Amino acid sequence: MKHEDTLKRLKTIEGHLRGIIRMVEEDAYCIDIIRQIQAVEAALNKVSAQILEGHLNSCVITAVQGEDPAERQRVLKEVLEVFETSTKV
């Protein structure tokens, strides 16, 4: 199930982040720390994409096929906002 896989990925990322904290505590080389942070960000991007995929295939379909135009607009606007933010982080 998607849900389980998302959780597993997030817990792996949490472990990765704790490793980065340890690196800072042990005065690891700056560039190595930055690289690990970038790896965590790439992993978070994958989780976001996975969650968005589930969202498109459930809530978005329901809202777009639904009777309520305001709800449809709201749901599509959220997808747009998530895209806009993704081009800024």
Question: Applying CB under 8 A, which residues contact a copy of itself?
Answer: 3, 6-7, 10-11, 13-14, 17-18, 20-21, 24-25, 27, 30-31, 33-35, 37-38, 40-42, 44-45, 47-49, 51-57, 59-61, 64-65, 72, 76, 78-80, 82-89
Amino acid identity of residue 43, one-letter, is A
C-alpha 5/C-alpha 11 separation (Å) is: 10
Closest CB 86 distance from a copy of itself, rounded Å: 5
Looking up tokens 């042990």 gives 26
Please identify, using beta-carbon distances, which residue of 53 and 68 lies nearer to a copy of itself.
53
What is the three-state SS of 6-24? HHHHHHHHHHHHHHHHHHH
